[in-house]
Amino acid sequence: MATFPLEIVTPDRKFFSGEVESVIVRGIDGDLAVLKDRAPLVTPLKICKVRIMIDGKERVAALCNGYIKVSKEGTTIISDAAEWPDEIDVKRAKEAKERAEKRLNERPSGIDTKRAELALRRALNRLDVAEMK
């Protein structure tokens, strides 16, 4: 199958760089699948999984917002955070989930609901991806 170059970068590191057959992410308008020669675009990403197909095998990682840029030269994803399943600290993600759920259930005065909801989504996404080892 035809391939194209993909780069995924975060503030800390170059998370991925290589030739891929396809990449699927969740943009603000829904799931987006990129194949070679897709029309160019730039769109924001949600807290989501990235699914990369290489030699017919799928690799999945957790992403945390950011942007995807598709151009003739290749595809670039810039995300606040990215982790492969075996990099995810499950205990930490469970604790983050519990913290966020507690805040949302108890709603102490001054709670930033949106922030707690986003923390919960990040934790649930990581727990999902951690199971894909």
Q: Which residues of the shown chain bind ligand ATP in the complex (CB under 6 A)?
A: 12, 64, 81, 83, 87-89, 92-93, 96, 119, 122, 126
Whichever of 7 and 128 has its CB closer to ligand ATP, that residue is: 128
Q: What is the C-alpha to C-alpha distance for residues 48 and 122, in angstroms, rounded to an integer?
A: 8
Q: 4-9 and 74-78 as β-strands: parallel, antiparallel, unpaired? A: parallel
CA distances from 115 to 8, 40, 104, 121, 129 (A): 25, 32, 10, 10, 21
- Shortest distance, position 65 Cβ to ligand ATP, whole Å: 9
**Percentages of the chain per state (helix, strand, coil), in multiples of 5:** 30, 45, 30
- Shortest distance, position 78 Cβ to ligand ATP, whole Å: 14
Whichever of 70 and 88 has its CB closer to ligand ATP, that residue is: 88
Whichever of 70 and 93 has its CB closer to ligand ATP, that residue is: 93
- Shortest distance, position 125 Cβ to ligand ATP, whole Å: 9
- Shortest distance, position 102 Cβ to ligand ATP, whole Å: 13
Whichever of 4 and 66 has its CB closer to ligand ATP, that residue is: 66
